[in-house]
Structure 1
Amino acid sequence: MMNKDDFEALYASHYHKVFRLCLGYTGGHEALAQDLTQEVFLKVWTHRNTLRDVSVLPTWLYRITVNTCLQELRKKKFLSLRTDVVEEEGSKPDERERRLQAMYRCIDRLPVPHKSIILLDLEGVSQAEIAEITGISHGALRTRLHRIKDQLSKCVKND
């Protein structure tokens, strides 16, 4: 059972990972990603008593994150950020920022199952955990991940 101290430690150690994952699902929309991150941790706290085995905590947290993001996107039918919106918000981005925005745009174009896989991979989640979270075999995951990375690489180069 997770107590308040355990929750605070989890929050401190995983907040940025959950936020970046949500940011990927929202196509770089920071305000929505922050809202979703808070919702994820609210769900973690609310359902903390359902976690029986702390060894699966990271997988449990990522599953809550993915499901929360997908539910929100379905509910709001969220449209990804358009380039003109990004450009209106600030000055010209440097090369790294431009590539990052291109990557988020390319990720946003992926089918939802592929988006889940690549975002979890970018967060450093092990392939075994990603396979468990997504419900596909480890071999199939490795193949999909390779194809997704090839697709993203081509997309970012052409964006």
Structure 2
Amino acid sequence: MSEHSGTMALAELDGVRRAGGTLEVDALYRRYHALVYRLALRYGRGDAAWAEDVTQEVFLRLFDVIDRLEEGDGLEGWFYRVTSNRCLNRLRRERVRNAAPVRWLLGQKARPPVDPERLTAARQGLHKAWSVLDELPPKERVAFCMVHVDGKTLVEIGEVLGHTKGYVCKLVKRAEARVRAQGWEVESA
């Protein structure tokens, strides 16, 4: 495993793979558990149990597909994509499950009412922020979100996206400039 890169390619575990796969998944779990858990924790708004459930789902998925992953695949990118997809799917299911008719069918209590003015202001602010992000070119939007939402370093983003640190820096700086031009405050990466 490379100490400098922060990622592990499957080729580095080739000997372990021949041992039956269980040890390989264990080694990958030890290596990537914190990354997957932290990402799931952000999506789950700080709910540790929710994040741990997602983390388990991701590693169960790894166990299912490990023989189909190609040699040299960047595993950090794979973990990032699978974790994000699992979180988004789980959030969609929860949104449906939290709908009033579904809560009624499941015998759950109604939520306390939310101040409509506060809710409207929050929705408008969120809508404006997403509009600004949606206007960014895709590569810039991904790099910007990975820095400012996910807390990734430029080197980590480069490894996940397959770009140099310099190119990622350029993407982030451009995105930050575009966001500032729309009147938003952004801390430089």
Structure 2 length-normalised TM: 0.49
Whether the 8 Å CA contact 1:23–1:29 is kept in 2: the answer is yes
Match of 2:156 in 1: 126
Offset of residue 33 of structure 1: 0.7
Counterparts of residues 2-151 of structure 1 (less than 5 Å)? 2=17, 3-77=21-95, 111=130, 117-118=146-147, 121-124=150-153, 126-131=156-161, 138=168, 139-144=170-175, 151=185
More helix by share: 1
Q: Select the structure with the greater relative contact order (CA < 8 A; seq sep ≥ 6).
A: 1
Task: Decide whether aligned partners of structure 1 residues 7 and 15 sit closer, same or farther in structure 2, where only a CA change above 3 A counts.
Answer: same
Sort the Cα spacing of 1:50 and 1:144 in 2 relative to 1 into closer, same or farther, 3 A: farther
How does 1:147-158 map onto structure 2 within 5 Å? 151=185
- Name the aligned partner's letter for residue 27 of structure 2: A
Deviation at 1:152, TM superposition (A): 6.9
Amino acid aligned to 2:28: L
Structure 1 residue ranges, 4+ long, deviating more than 6 angstroms after superposition: 112-115
- How many pairs were matched up? 119
Point out where structure 2 has 5 or more consecutive residues left out of the alignment: 1-13, 99-125, 134-140
TM-score by length of 1: 0.57
